[in-house]
Amino acid sequence: MTVIVRHLRPHVRADAEGFSRVRLMAVPFMLSTPESVLHNLTRSHPDARFTQLVAEEDGEIVGTAQVSLAHESPEPGQGSANVYVRPDRTGRGAGSLLARTAEELLASLGVTKVFSWVPDEPGNRAFAERRGYTASRSAHFLRLDLAGGTLPPSLDPPPGVELRTGADFADDPRPLFELDAETTSDEPSDIEVSFTDYEAWLADTWRHPLLDLGLTTVAVVDGRPAAFTAVYTDGAARYSTAMTGTARAHRGRGLAKLAKSDSLHRARAAGYREAFTGNDAGNGPMLAINEWFGYEVGGTEVRYVRELR
């Protein structure tokens, strides 16, 4: 069997379909569609040098890699390479070839430190460690049975707090950009992030094909967004939290929990059957909120880092 690695061809629909299929098989807790694959490739910021690679075995896509520069970090020379191989095609060289190609590409762009998410399974971790990667932290994938489980009763907004949807900001999403930028900078991460490019955010985040503005909930205080939960859906039965955050001035009031409660109840009423989210393993407050909703840990990924020589 012959394995080759090449760039994803954005004009070939079968490439996006194959890429999405592999991601869903390898990481079933994350939403992926051919449209989202193409969006990520064509709408990412040019400075990210975002690249999608595929591994083919006898003409069939069996592995993928997403490669990019951490262009929003004030520290230069950082990049990421996330490699996934179909569970039924591991151990046949696709992962090694993808990783080597991704690392060579990043090195050519001046990257000296590569970060990678690796499924928390012995074979995957051993693969990363053989390549010189060192574990730094971990994050959990969480799943909630919306169809068969029991959500806690919906929460009522406290006085002075109004719940709106993302669609209510369609004419002027800048207040949500500002809130997203503030909360993202406070997220647990190996790479410090500070983004200020509104137009890039509109193209990459606001117009993402999975973003469901109707199920995105925003808690508004004194006319300004104070907390939000941004939602991805696949248009069928699966719902995923893309980001949840609260402005620093309003933390400790339960507004993130309020926004998530509103969105989850509306998603269940709309017929969504499964809800997914992810949390850094050290983010106790958000893990506690999700446990209260009934989420259970479905899988874990470990963040690895390697210094390129």
Calculate ∠ Cα 144-145-150, nearest 5°.
100
Confidence (pTM): 0.93
Predicted confidence (pLDDT) per residue in 206-248, tens digit: 999 999 999 999 999 999 999 999 999 998 999 999 999 999 9
Which tokens hold the place of 230?
Answer: 């941004």
Instruction: For the chain, list the domains and their CATH numbers.
Output: 3-111 (3.40.630.30), 144-301 (3.40.630.30)
How far are the Cα atoms of 38, 63, 164, 304 from residue 13, in angstroms, in the given order?
9, 16, 36, 32
Predicted confidence (pLDDT) per residue in 112-158, tens digit: 999 999 999 999 999 999 999 999 999 999 999 999 988 999 999 99
Count of all residues that appear for the chain in the document: 309
How far are the Cα atoms of 169, 220, 236, 266 from residue 223, in angstroms, in the given order?
12, 6, 33, 23
Beta-sheet strands, E only, within 120-214: 134-145, 161-165
Which tokens hold the place of 189?
Answer: 């991460």
Mean pLDDT of the chain: 95
Residue 309 has pLDDT above 80, yes or no: no
DSSP class of residue 13 equals: H
Helix axes 255-269, 284-293, angle to 10 degrees: 30
Residue 188 has pLDDT above 70, yes or no: no
Beta-sheet strands, E only, within the chain: 3-7, 51-57, 60-69, 78-85, 113-119, 134-145, 161-165, 217-221, 224-233, 238-246, 274-280, 296-307
Helix axes 34-43, 13-26, angle to 10 degrees: 110
Cβ(42)–Cβ(10) below 8 Å:
yes
Distance CA 306, CA 309 (A): 9
Residue 259 has pLDDT above 70, yes or no: yes
Instruction: Pick the most confident of 10-14, 71-75, 149-153.
Output: 10-14
Which tokens hold the place of 309?
Answer: 């020589």
